Amino acid sequence: MFRIGLIVASFAVVSITAVDRHKIVYKSLQEAAVECGQYTIKGQCLGRCETLITRDWNDTTGMSPAYSRFFQPDPVDECNLNRTQRCLQTKVYTVPRPRTCQRASESIQCYLDQFGQVNLTTPQFIRFTPLQDDQIVLECAAIMGYTYEQVYAWIRESAFQRPETRCIYRCFLIRSGLYSDSEGLNMARFYVLCGGYEEDFYQRVEQCAARLRQEVPCNDKCTLAQRLAIECIGADYQAGNLATNANSKAVEGSRVQSKFNN
C-alpha cells in the first residue's frame, strides 16, 4: 500500500508552451501537498486538502473520476476502474458523511490500491472554478473592446447568439486552454472539466466535429468554436455560468450550457 500523503502525476509529461499558457494552471499533488503544509494541514485532512487544491474532491459528491489522470494504470488490467468504483462506493456506506477528511483520505486510498501507479512529480491540468470562468469571459469582452454593460445586455437578450458574443465565447475557450483553431477541442482538458466520459463519447465528439467542419464556413472561426463546444460537448461541459441580474449584475456559477446555449 502506498502512503496517502503526497499524490500526483499522470499519463504523460505535460509540455506547456507560451502559446498554450493563457490562463491555464498545471499542478502536481506533490506541489499541492507542499501548499497544504503551509496551512498546517495534517493527518487524514491532508489528502482532502490536496484534492481540493487539484479540484478533484467535493465534500458532497466525493472524488471526481478525473482524479485518475494522476495515475498510470497497468495496460493489461481491464478491471482497475471497476475495482476503484466499487471501493469508492463502499465508502458511501461505511464512512459517515460529516467525516469529510476520512472520506477523502479513504477515497484516495481506493485509487492508490486499485487504479494504478501514482506519479508524484508530473503536473496535471487543474480545472477552473465557476468564478474564474466568469472572470475569463469578462476579460475576453474587454480584450475585444466591449464593456461589461454590453456583455450583460447581450447575454440577457440573445444568450451568446450574436456574432460578437460568439467571438467572446471562442476567446473564452482559447484562454481556458480548451480549444485552438488548429487542434480543435482539447478533450483531455474537457475530461477534467466534465469529470470523465465513457469511451464512446470521444467517438461521438469526433463525428460531431467532422460534421461541423463541413457545415461551418472555414472563415467563421467564432461560430465553429461555439458550435463545437455546445453541440459536440453539450451538457457534459460543466464550468462557469456568466449569469446576469438586471439590477445587481451579479455573477453566479452554473453550467456553461445555459450560459452559451445557442
List, run by run, the mean pLDDT of 10-residue segments along the chain (262 residues). 36 40 86 95 94 96 95 93 95 92 97 96 93 88 87 70 82 93 92 79 90 94 92 62 35 37 42
pLDDT digits (tens, 9 = 90+) for 169-193: 899 999 999 999 999 999 999 989 8
Indicate whether 58 and 110 sit together in one domain: yes
For position 21, what pLDDT does the model report?
59
Residues 115 and 200 in one domain: no
Count structural domains, the chain: 2
pLDDT at position 161 is 67
Which domain, by its residues, includes 194? 130-233
Residue ending a domain, among 81, 99, 126, is 126
Does this model's pTM top 0.85? My answer is: no
Q: Is 10 contained in some domain? A: no
Q: What's the CA gap between 94 and 221, in Å, rounded?
A: 51
Dist CA 230 CA 149 (whole Å) = 24
- CA-CA distances (angstroms) from residue 125 to 228, 230, 254? 21, 21, 21
pLDDT single digits (tens) 25-49 = 999 999 999 999 999 998 999 999 9
Spatial distance between the Cα atoms of 199 and 206, rounded to a whole number of angstroms: 12
- CATH classification at residue 168: 1.10.238.20
> How many whole angstroms separate alpha carbon 197 and alpha carbon 202?
8
